[in-house]
Amino acid sequence: MKLKVGFYGITGCAGCLLSVIFNEDEILDLVDLVDLKAFPFVKEVNIDEKFDYVFMEGLVADNDDLKTLKKLRKNSKFLVSLGACASTGCVPAYRQYTLKENYEHLIYKKQKRLQDLKASPIDDHVKVDYYIPGCPPDKKEIVNFVKNLVIGKEPKPFESPVCVECRQNGNQCLLDLGKPCLGPITAGGCDAVCINGKFECWGCRGPTKDMNLDLMIKMLRDRGFDDKFIQDRMRTFVGLKMPMIEEYMCSTGTANRLKTSFKGKKEYFE
């Protein structure tokens, strides 16, 4: 019996779903490996029934998202959070760090329904069994994940920092060049793709359990970055899952407001 699998998306850019089909060389074998019941992004006929695994892209931004998510959770044995939005809230969740007046006029007045809910990662609402982090996730990682499922191998997250692969790839350390690279506190598994292209890490795969956050912040300050900048940079992709942020960032004044909206997601680290 092949595993029944579905790929779904809620609020998001569909980039993570694209990452799945960007596996041009493997996609046909991949589809062959499992029983692909639903993939509304590319498939016309989607059988919405009971799944073994549902891969979920996107974050919960409105009530429709929540309804879809809860239904799919109920219908699946395992729920996989696909990409940064689903895992950490990513860029769309950033709206919580700024005042409503700053963004309301852009689109949200027209799109009333978006204000129904706090923008939040899916594990704020339902139990998530596995995470495939990244904005977008590494396409090979998705293939490996599915391959492991098929042979009954528990997929293990890559917990070491981005620097591990970066240094093995023979890159120059961007911190040495004065760039605000978050590699040392960010979980790797992406083959340090950004730094290979000389672009600093923004931390899209989430913090490592073992990160030395004190030191990272000190290093960025030493390189001339102010706290507002550091705070913004660290929040861009993983704001909702970066713990203890207020403790460090009290000087900027946004901290007090943050306390009401920020809940440290401890479970993510355990």
Partner 1 sequence: MERQKTFENPYLPKPYKVLSFTRESSDSFTIKVDMRINHEPGQFVQVSVPGIGECPISICSDSNKYIELNIREVGNVTNALSKLKKGSVVFVRGPYGNGYPMRSLRGNNILIIGGGCGVAPLRGIIEFVANNREDYEDVNLFLGYRSPADMIFKKETKKWKKDYQVDVSVDKVPHGQSCHDMRVGFITDALKEMHLDKNNRVVFICGPPIMMRYVIEILKNKGFNDKQIFISAERLMYCALGVCCHCMIKGKFTCIDGPVFRYDEVPK
Partner 2 sequence: MQVFKLQKKGFNEFLEKVRSSYELIAPIKEDLVKFEKINNVKDIHLEKNSYFPVKEYFFRKEETLFQFDGKKFITPKLKTPTRAFFGLRRCDLAGIQHQDKVFMEDVNDPYYLEARKNSFLLGYHCPSAPSEYCFCGSMNLEEFFDIMFYDHETFFLAEIGSKKGEFLVKKFSKYFSKTNEIISEVEKTIPGTERLEKKDISKLYDHKDWKKGVDICLSCTACTALCPTCYCFSIHDEISIKNTKESERKRSWSSCQVPEFTKVAGDHVFRQEREERFKHRIYHQLDYFKEKYNVNMCTGCGRCIEGCPTRIDFVKIINEME
Can you tell me which of 24, 44, 45, 152 binds partner 1, judged by CB under 8 A? 152
Strand order in the sheet with 76-82: 35-38, 4-9, 51-57, 76-82, 130-132
CB atoms within 10 A of CB 244: 11
* Residue 82 binds partner 2 (CB under 8 A): no
Which residues lie below 8 Å from residue 45, measured CB to CB, with a gap of 6+? none
* Residue 2 binds partner 2 (CB under 8 A): no
CB atoms within 10 A of CB 33: 18
Instruction: Choose the contact partner of 161 out of partner 1, partner 2, none; CB within 5 to 8 A by kind.
Output: partner 2
Q: How far is the CB of 3 from partner 2 (least distance, A)?
A: 12
Q: What does the per-residue mask of binding to partner 2 show for 187-226, with x meaning CB under 8 A? A: ----------------------xxxx--xx--x-------
Q: How far is the CB of 204 from partner 2 (least distance, A)?
A: 18
* Residue 1 binds partner 1 (CB under 8 A): no
Q: How far is the CB of 60 from partner 2 (least distance, A)?
A: 29
Binding segment toward partner 2, per CB under 8 A, in 27-35, 40-48, 234-242, 256-264:
27-35
Tell me how many residues contact partner 1 (CB under 8 A).
Answer: 4
Taking the alpha carbons of 10, 151, 22, 171 in that order, is the dihedral positive or negative? positive
Can you tell me which of 161, 203, 206, 207 binds partner 2, judged by CB under 8 A? 161
Which residues lie below 8 Å from residue 96, measured CB to CB, with a gap of 6+? 118, 119, 239, 240, 261, 262
CA distances from 257 to 97, 252, 262 (A): 8, 11, 9
Using alpha carbons, select from 87, 100, 39 the residue that is nearest to residue 60: 87
**Inter-axis angle of helices 227-238 and 213-222, nearest 10:** 130
* Residue 151 binds partner 1 (CB under 8 A): yes
CA distances from 177 to 37, 73, 192, 199, 201 (A): 48, 45, 17, 11, 13
Contacts to partner 2 from residues 138-157, by CB under 8 A: 143-144, 147, 150-151
Instruction: Choose the contact partner of 29 out of partner 2, partner 1, none; CB within 5 to 8 A by kind.
Output: partner 2
* Residue 159 binds partner 2 (CB under 8 A): yes
User: Whose Cβ is closer to partner 2: residue 95's or residue 139's?
Assistant: 139
* Residue 3 binds partner 2 (CB under 8 A): no
Integer Cα distance of 64 and 85 in angstroms: 16
Query: Any idea which residue has 């950004």 for tokens?
Result: 194
Chain contacts with partner 2 (rule: CB under 8 A): 26, 29-30, 33, 143-144, 147, 150-151, 159-161, 163-164, 167-168, 170, 172-173, 175-176, 183-185, 209-212, 215-216, 219
Chain contacts with partner 1 (rule: CB under 8 A): 151-154
